[in-house]
Amino acid sequence: MDEPEDTIPPTSNREALARHLSERFSNNASLVESAKSDSFLILGDVYRLVASNWIVINEYVNRELVTIAYLLEKEEPTFRDIEVYLKDLYIYRRRVTIYHELITQAKEQCTTRGQQSWSRDESSQMAAADATDIKGDFKYLQDKVLGTAG
């Protein structure tokens, strides 16, 4: 027996985004018209997807840091072990700094509702509200990444 398409979980971010956009715009002609004049109404969903992936990445880095801490506490590490852990910590610190910069750039793009070349309707309250919400998500991510770095 085949399951209805909406109950089958998406297998990729692309599929999840396509399904979401299809559902969001399928029965809302006014939203489709608004999206024609303001790109952020569509691309804001891409920013949401990016933000959710940053959360996963941050949790992955946290898990790796906890693993290193656990290994250091559990056993008496050799000099070579400490050297390897220190190298790993340096790599994660560097990555987290870059991640924070990328998240900051995405947050700033939400402030301007995308890049300069994107069409935008300055009077669109819906796009402005979406941008403010997503900007808040990226602010939360900035704080989480700073917590990971600290």
pTM above 0.85, yes or no: no
The gap from C-alpha 95 to its chain's centroid, in whole angstroms, comes to 15
Domains in the chain: ranges and CATH: 41-149 (1.20.58)
pLDDT of residue 123: 82
Closest residue by Cα to residue 32 from 126, 137, 150, 100? 126
Q: List the chain pLDDT tens, one digit each, 150 residues.
A: 455 556 677 778 788 878 877 877 787 777 777 777 788 888 888 899 899 999 999 999 999 999 999 988 988 889 999 999 999 999 999 999 999 999 999 999 998 888 888 778 888 888 889 899 999 999 999 999 999 987
